[in-house]
Chain A
Amino acid sequence: MKKSIIYILLIATMLFVDGCYTSTVDSLSSFRFQLPLIFYSNYKNKSVPDTAIDFVNLSKYEEYNKNKDKIGKAEILSFNYWIDSLVIDNNKPFDPKVDDVEFEFVSFALHFAKLKANPPNPADINSVINWEDDPLTPDYILGQFSNVSVKEYYRNPDHILDVNDEIAQVLSSAVKYKPQFFIKSLYSKSKGQITPRRVFPLVNARFDMIIRFQVDL
C-alpha cells in the first residue's frame, strides 16, 4: 500500500515536471522585439490639401530579413508625427516662436503594395518604382492627428497614437506575408485657407512607427 502511494506520487510528480518543462519550452519558443521604422517625408512645393505617399519595405531591415522565415507576427503598435522643417508661403523658414500654421487634421493610412505586372526595375525588385497599390486590399486607417498646429509639432515627438487593436490585428498577419506597403498621409486644408490649394515650398515631416515582431524559434 505504502509503495503504491509512493509510486503514484512519483508518477504525478513526473507528469507535473514534464508539464512545467513543456510550458517553459512553449513560452520560450518565440522571441518578440520592437523595431522603430523611421520615415522621412520630404516634399518641395507641397500643396494642401493633398495626400503624401511613402513606400515601406521591411526587407530593407536586417532584423526583418534575418528572421523573415521565422516571423510569426508583425504588429504595428504606435506611431508619431512631427514637422522637422517647413518653409511657408513667402519662402520664409518657419520659426516656431513667431509663426504658426495649423492643419485641421493629418491622417495616416496603410495600403499594401503589390508588385507591378512588368516591374520597370527588375534588377532591384525592392525598388519603390516596382510597386503599386494592391487593389484587393483597402486603406487601413492608422490614426489621425487633429488641429495640427505646426508650432506644437515642430521637432516635437510627443504626438503619439496607439494603433487601434482591431486594425493592428488585421495588419499583424498580413504584414508577415506582405512586407511592402505604402503609408499615405492625408493633409487637410490649413486653417484660414481660402484658396483651393496652398503651396508650401518645403515640407520635411517625420513619422516614426513602432512595429512588434514575433519570431518563432
Chain B
Amino acid sequence: MKQLLYIGLWIFFQFSVSSQAEDKITLSREFNLFTSKNLEGYLKPLFTSIGESINSNVFTTGNYKDDWSIGIDISVSGMFIPNGQTTYDAERPDAFGDTTIVKTAELRNGKIYRNVVGNNSQPTIFGGQSNGIYAAPQNHRYPDTSYKSVAYVEGNDISFMSGIPTIQFIFGFPTRTQIRFRIIAVPMGDNSVTYWGLTASQNVDRFFNLFKPEEKMGLSAHFAYSAINGGPSISLSTWNFGVHFSKSWNNSLSLYAGFQFEGLKGKFEAVRDTMNMDNYVDNPFKEIRDGAPLTVNLASFTAFRILGGVSYKIGPMEIHGDAAWASQPILTFGITFTFGHFGRSKDDEWDEQWEKDRLRLKEN
C-alpha cells in the first residue's frame, strides 16, 4: 500500500526543494520536466487506476441480512491499460509552429515532421518512448531565443496496473443496510497522506417485494465516497453510486452483477521558487519561464463500470472475485471474514422453517 501510494505521488515530491506540512510544495525554478498541462496528461491514466481501485470492492452480493454483523474484507484489484491511455496530447511551447520565431523538427518512427502545430503525442506514465522536438530560434532576441529544443518524460510500458489494496471494516444493520469503512495514513516526506472511504449499501427489493425469499435474490443500491488528503498541495476524492443484484444457491455460491457511475476529482498545487527572479530561467515554456505555479487538476477517464462476479461462502469466510468493464477493464479479488451476526434475522428464521418443511415433505 505504502509502496504504491509512494509511486503514485513520487513524481510530485521528487523535485521539490522544500516542503513543509503547512506550506504547498515548492519546486525549484529549474524544474522543467513538466508544465501543468503535461503533468495532468501524463498522470491522468494513473489517477484513473487509483480511482478505479478505490471505487472497487464496494459490494459483492445484494442480499443483506436484517441483523447486526461485523466483519473485515481484504481485497485487491488490477486494471488492464488500454492503448488509448498510453499517450496524451502534450503541450508544445507557445511559439512552436510560428516559423517567424522558431522552426521545429520532430523525428518520429524514422520520419521527420517539420513545424507541426497539431497533436503532440507523448507517452503517459503507462506508455513507452517519448519524442523530443528540436527547435531553431530564428532571431537573436529574448524571448525568441528561449524557444529551444524540448524533450518529454517517458512512460514505463505498463499494460496491467495493480490497484491500491483495500482493507475495510464491514458493518451490517437490521435495516438491511451495510456500511463499509476504510482508513489508512501514510507518512510521505514532511506530510502525511490520509486515505479514508465510506460505502453505504441498502437492500431495496424487500421494500417492493420484488423477489420471493426462496429465490435468494437481492437488489441493492450503493453509494461510496473516499478522500485522500496529502497536506495543502494535494487533495483527491472519489465517489460512486449504482445498483447491484445477486442470486444465491444453497446460501454459499452467488453470482452478482452491478452497474455504477463513478468519478474522481482533485487538485495538485505546487509553487515554483521565485525568491531570486533575477536568475531567470531560459525555458521554452512560458509557464516555467515566468515561475508560475504548477496546478494540476486530477481526474479519471472512468465515468461508469458494469461488472459481474462470483462469491462463495464457507462458514464465516466469503471469497469473491469480479470482472468489470470500465475505461480500464478491472479484475478484483477479495476475502471477507464475518466475525459475528447479532440479533435474530428473519432470513435465518425463514431458512430454518424452509429446511424443516423440506425435511417434513421428504419424510412424508
Contact = CB atoms under 8 A, between A and B. Distances in A.
B153 interface: yes
A25 B4 CA distance: 7
Contact of A156 (B15, B33, B103, B148): B103
Nearest to B104: A157
A152 interface: no
A153 to B, nearest CB: 10
B161 A63 contact: no
A171 to B, nearest CB: 17
A210 B4 CA distance: 30
**Size class of the contact patch on chain A:** 35 or more
B156 A158 contact: no
A210 B149 contact: yes
B156 A27 contact: yes
Interface residues of B, number: 49
A20 B162 contact: yes
Given A34-B151, A160-B134, A210-B149, A66 B15 contact: yes
Nearest to A22: B162
B97 interface: no
A25 B3 contact: yes
Nearest to A204: B140
Contact of A63 (B11, B33, B136): B33
Contacts of A124: none
Contacts of B152: 33-34
A160 B112 contact: yes
B275 to A, nearest CB: 16
Contacts of A10: 319, 335
A212 B314 contact: no
Nearest to A206: B136
Interface string B63-103: 00000000000001010000000000000000000000001
Interface in A83-136: 84-85
Given A6-B312, A35-B151, A30 B156 contact: yes
Contacts of B192: none
B135 interface: yes
A65 to B, nearest CB: 10
Given A6-B319, A21-B76, A33-B153, A38 B148 contact: yes
Interface string B213-245: 000000000000000000000000000000000
A35 B138 CA distance: 22
Given A158-B112, A208-B148, A34 B132 contact: yes
A208 B105 contact: no
B312 to A, nearest CB: 6
Interface in B150-166: 150-158, 160-162
B281 to A, nearest CB: 10
A82 interface: yes
Given A20-B78, A34-B130, A63-B33, A157 B156 contact: no
B30 A62 contact: yes
B114 interface: yes
A82 to B, nearest CB: 5
Nearest to B321: A13
A157 B76 contact: no
A84 to B, nearest CB: 8
B156 A155 contact: no
B361 interface: no
A35 B15 CA distance: 15
B160 A24 contact: yes
Nearest to B123: A32
Contact of A78 (B28, B107, B158): B107
A23 B160 contact: yes
A28 interface: yes
Contacts of A62: 28, 30-31
Interface in B327-353: 333, 335
Contacts of B140: 85
B78 A17 contact: yes
B317 to A, nearest CB: 9
Query: Which of A3, A160, A208, A212 is most buried by chain B, counting CB atoms within 10 A of its CB?
Result: A208
Contacts of B15: 66
Contact of A27 (B31, B107, B157, B333): B157
Interface in A6-22: 6, 9-10, 13, 17, 20-21
Given A36-B151, A155-B137, 10 more contacts: A23-B162, A24-B78, A25-B3, A25-B4, A32-B156, A34-B152, A36-B148, A80-B134, A206-B136, A217-B10
12 contacts: A17-B333, A24-B4, A24-B78, A33-B130, A33-B154, A38-B148, A63-B32, A63-B33, A156-B105, A157-B134, A157-B135, A208-B135
Closest 9 CB pairs of A and B: A34-B151, A158-B105, A32-B154, A157-B136, A24-B162, A36-B149, A157-B134, A62-B30, A208-B149
Interface of A: 3, 6, 9-10, 13, 17, 20-21, 23-25, 27-28, 30-36, 38, 62-63, 66, 77-78, 80, 82, 84-85, 155-158, 160, 162, 206, 208, 210, 212, 217
